[in-house]
Structure 1
Amino acid sequence: MRNRLSEALKTAMKEKDTKRLSTLRLINAAIKDREIAMRGEGEDPSDLTDDVILGILGKMVKQRQESARAYEEGGRLELAEAEREEIKVIEEFLPRQLSDAEVDKAVDKAVAEVGATSIRDMGKVMGVLKGKYTGQMDFGAVGPKVKARLG
Structure 2
Amino acid sequence: MTTLKSKLHDDLTDAIKARDELRSSTLRLTLAAITKEEVAGKEARELSDDEVQKVIAKEAKKRREAAEAFTQGGRTEQAERERQEGELLDAYLPKQMSDDELNAVVAQAVEEARTAGAEGPRAMGAVMKIVNPKVAGKAEGGRVAAAVKKLLAG
**Structure 2 length normalisation: TM-score?**
0.81
Aligned partner of 2:72 in structure 1 is 73
Aligned partner of 1:94 in structure 2 is 93
Report the RMSD for the aligned CA atoms in angstroms. Answer: 2.2
Change (3 A) 1:19 1:106: same
Structure 1 position 81, deviation (Å): 0.9
d(CA) in 2 for partners of 1:125, 1:87: 29
SS of 1:78's equivalent in the other structure is: helix
Between 1:125-134 and 1:66-75, the stretch displaced more is: 125-134
Alignment of 1:50-65 (within 5 A): 50-65=49-64
SS of 2:139's equivalent in the other structure is: coil
In the alignment, does 2:149 pair up with 1:147? Answer: yes
Change (3 A) 1:109 1:71: same
2:16 paired residue among 3, 13, 21: 13
Identity of aligned residues (%): 39
**Structure 1 length normalisation: TM-score?**
0.82
Aligned partner of 2:118 in structure 1 is 117
Alignment of 1:127-146 (within 5 A): 127-146=129-148
CA contact (8 A) 1:65 1:84 kept: yes
Aligned partner of 1:85 in structure 2 is 84
d(CA) in 2 for partners of 1:79, 1:116: 49
Query: Structure 1: where are the runs of 5+ without partners?
Result: none
d(CA) in 1 for partners of 2:145, 2:97: 15
Query: Structure 2: where are the runs of 5+ without partners?
Result: none
Amino acid in the other structure paired with 1:79: Q
Structure 1 position 28, deviation (Å): 0.5
Q: Greater relative contact order (Cα 8 A, min sep 6): structure 1 or 2?
A: 1
* 1:131-150 Cα shifts (integer Å, max 9, x gaps): 23222112112213223434
